[in-house]
Amino acid sequence: MTIQESIKSAEAVIFAAGEGITHDALMAVLEIDEKQLMYVLDMLKEKYNHTDSGVNLIHNTEGISFATSSDTADIVYKAFSVKKNTPLSNAAMETLAIIAYNQPVSRAFIEQVRGVDSSSSVKTLLERNLIEEAGRLEIPGRPLSYKTTDVFLRSFSLTSLSQLPKVKVEKEGQLSTDDLALEEEDNDDII
């Protein structure tokens, strides 16, 4: 691989890594040594770390990643906060409650409880980091399972799942929603 190919490949890998990649991992992927890696990173810094670039290359002991420049932080925040500040739909809230009370659960379980396709609700909750993948269940087909995150706890002012309101079973198969109603705080703004 030529040095130009290494630079191009490093740029693509760092971008695709999102949160970042370690030095060792990048050297292994590119099949280069540390001296060559430092040269590649210097070339990328020269390309990105200027006042006219909206992106900077971050290179520290934690690893290597791209980040938006401080000049563009406000506009990036504005672009991504629009969707995050919109309230969750009733379907998404219902899906979130099913996951919170029964985790880890598969999408098939959620759909069985709700009686409708829940793909969109699960996707929304994943995007907002309220739920995350919890591995594969040890059942036929080994479906993905989902669980709530720390963001979920913070969004609903909970310190642990044990603080979730208790569910009362009134008759066999029927739940009382009296205890499920959360206080009428403005949770829409939090989520």
User: Could you give the 3-state DSSP secondary structure of residue 122?
Assistant: helix
Rounded-to-integer distance, Cα 169 and Cα 190, Å = 30
pLDDT at residue 19 is higher than 90:
no
Q: What is the per-residue pLDDT for 172?
A: 57
**What average pLDDT does the chain have?**
83
Q: What is the per-residue pLDDT for 82?
A: 56
- Express as a percent the part of the chain with pLDDT over 90: 40
**pLDDT tens digits, one per residue of 113-165:** 999 998 899 999 999 889 999 988 888 888 899 999 988 888 888 888 888 88
Mean pLDDT in residue range 64-78: 83
11-15, 59-63, 139-143, 178-182, range with the lowest pLDDT: 178-182
Query: In the chain, what are the domains?
Result: 3-70 (1.10.10.10), 85-190 (1.10.10.10)
Q: What is the per-residue pLDDT for 35?
A: 94
20-34, 67-81, 134-148, range with the lowest pLDDT: 67-81
Rounded to two decimals, what is the model's pTM? Answer: 0.48
User: Could you give the 3-state DSSP secondary structure of residue 128?
Assistant: coil
Q: For CA atoms 44, 9, 63, 19, give the dihedral sign.
A: positive
Q: What is the per-residue pLDDT for 29?
A: 93
